[in-house]
Amino acid sequence: MAENGTDCDQRRIRMSKEQHNGNFTDSSMLSERKRREREERLNIVLWKKPLVTLQYFCLETLINLKEWTIKLWRRRGALVCVLLALAVLTAMYYIEGTHQQYVRYMEKKFFWCAYWVGLGILSSVGLGTGLHTFLLYLGPHIASVTLAAYECNSVNFPEPPYPDQIICPDEETTEGSISLWAIISKVRLEACMWGAGTAIGELPPYFMARAARLSGAEPDDEEYQEFEEMLEHAETAQDFASRAKLAVQNLVQKVGFFGILACASIPNPLFDLAGITCGHFLVPFWTFFGATLIGKAVIKMHIQKLFVIITFSKHIVEQMVALIGAIPSIGPSLQKPFQEYLEAQRIKLHHKSDSAVPQGENWLSWIFEKLVIVMVCYFILSIINSMAQSYAKRLQQKMYSEEKTK
């Protein structure tokens, strides 16, 4: 049955491509044209064609705004209900009463969760390149909580200023009273919200492939085209990358929910292919999203969280700093900034927010801050380039349609 289904898929792919070719009876000519158009689009970047890129970006933004406005107008009933709910919530927010303490609590939790969900979506959806928000935001947050927990022997940090600033509580604690499970529980909410955001970010490839399969159209998406070519040449695949992709595709297709769960539960750069596979083979939405959500927000997130907590536990950090100092010649000079940074963090943890804290910036924190700025700027540039290339693709498709009608 599975072999017959694969044969049918391959025949459908060939038929759809022949229909898509139209007057281009020679497939090599069409492939050459697609390759040339793809190269032209890839050259539309800010550092090569700044004016054209900005113009195309603005035009693509206007087209997207128009499309979103039309979609909202078609769903104006639901939009009105949402606006009414927002009006009620706004009234509750500004009217004084005993409910205000609960309103403030929910406001704080909502924005805290939304912040991490948004970072998870940015990390997963990418728009051309993913912003690695685990390395830039969640990982450092877990590491700082871990270091503070071992220094304070507690995770009951005063709120406020936590989570904006971590300081040790006034209560007396005994040395070694902090446990691994206490730290895991302290950062569980933000970690799970980030994982849920990454699961949401995996939906676009699924919906794109599902819509293409139901409509019979072939989307001009490079990952989807690569997936269809992989299905055509499944029997002749020899290189490791192709075999790995085929293994992911077979696991998801044959095992179903638990196959998707297995792919989502481990760091897997090929998971986009799992989303395309599920959409192409019309896997039910809740089967795909449920397995992805459990895998990324629960299993994978606890694995990553545990790794960071163990790595930044007190004795491991002390051993790493000691190993750096043991490097011949340059060891002591490299060890010094790490020791200064850790000592500065300890001093901050034992100072209250209104107390005088010794000022001074360590070069490690300076480098990390500049790294974050560079990564965010690059991500913004990639969005501009990606949207400009999307508009260029619209123009190429329009030209192709005009040529077919002649």
| Beta strand spans in 335-388 (E) | none
Give the pLDDT score at 83: 92
Query: pLDDT at residue 42 above 50?
Result: yes
Question: C-alpha dihedral over 364, 378, 202, 79, to 10 degrees?
Answer: 110
Asked, for residue 353, whether it belongs to a domain, the answer is no
What local confidence, expressed as pLDDT, does residue 70 receive? Answer: 92
- Closest CA relative to residue 271, chosen from 256, 249, 286, 287: 249
Q: Worst-scoring range by mean pLDDT, 46-60, 264-278, 324-338?
A: 264-278
Q: Is residue 64 part of a domain?
A: yes
How far apart are alpha carbons 274 and 223 in whole angstroms?
11
**76 in a domain, yes or no?**
yes
pLDDT tops 80 at residue 43: yes
Are the beta carbons of 186 and 305 closer than 8 angstroms?
Answer: no
Which two three-digit tokens encode residue 137? 């935001």
Query: How far is residue 291's CA from residue 241's CA, in Å, rounded to a whole number?
Result: 24
Q: In angstroms, what CA-CA distances link 67 with 61, 63, 201, 207?
A: 10, 6, 21, 17
Backbone angles phi, psi at 196, to 5 degrees: -65, -35
- Judge whether residue 256 has pLDDT over 60: yes
Q: How far is CA 314 from CA 150, 319, 356, in A?
A: 6, 9, 26
The structure tokens listed for 86 are: 């927002």
pTM: 0.71
Distance CA 91, CA 84 (A): 11
Tokens of 52: 């054209």
Which tokens in the block code for residue 275?
A: 């989303």
CA dihedral 168, 171, 173, 177 (to 10 degrees): -70
- pLDDT-based confidence at residue 335 (cuts at 50, 70, 90): confident
User: What is the distance between the alpha carbons of residues 330 and 319, in angstroms, rounded to a whole number?
Assistant: 17
Per-residue buried b or exposed e for 74-95, using 16+ beta carbons within 10 Å of the residue's own CB? eeeeeeeeeeeeeeeeeeeeee
Range of the domain at 87: 53-95
**Average pLDDT of the residues in 265-281:** 73
How many C-beta atoms lie closer than 10 Å to residue 243's C-beta?
11
- Specify whether the CB–CB gap between 133 and 122 falls below 8 A: yes
The answer as to whether 62 is a domain residue is: yes
Q: Is 283 helix (H, G, I), strand (E, B) or coil?
A: coil
Distance of CA 267 to the CA centre of its chain: 12
Give the pLDDT score at 351.
64
More confident site: 125 or 141? 141
**pLDDT, tens only, 164-219:** 788 888 776 666 668 888 889 899 999 999 999 988 988 887 887 787 777 665 55
Is 81 inside a domain boundary?
yes
**Residue given tokens 């007057």 in the structure block:** 23
Q: Considering the domain boundaries, does residue 293 fall inside one?
A: no
d(Cα 337, Cα 202) in Å, to the nearest integer?
40
- Per-residue model confidence (pLDDT) at position 402: 76
pLDDT value, residue 216: 61
Longest dimension (CA), the chain: 84
CA distance 201 to 64: 19
Poorest-pLDDT segment among 79-88, 90-99, 284-293, 294-303: 90-99
pLDDT at 26: 56
Confidence category of residue 337, pLDDT binned at 50, 70, 90: confident
Residue 36 covered by a domain: no
> What confidence score (pLDDT) does residue 230 get?
56
CA distance 366 to 377: 17
User: What's the pLDDT score for residue 164?
Assistant: 79
What mean pLDDT is reported for the chain? 77
Residues comprising the chain, all counted: 406
Q: Residue 37 domain-assigned? A: no
Domain count, the chain: 1
The larger pLDDT score, comparing residue 283 to residue 11, is at 283
How many Å from the N-terminal Cα to the C-terminal Cα in the chain? 44
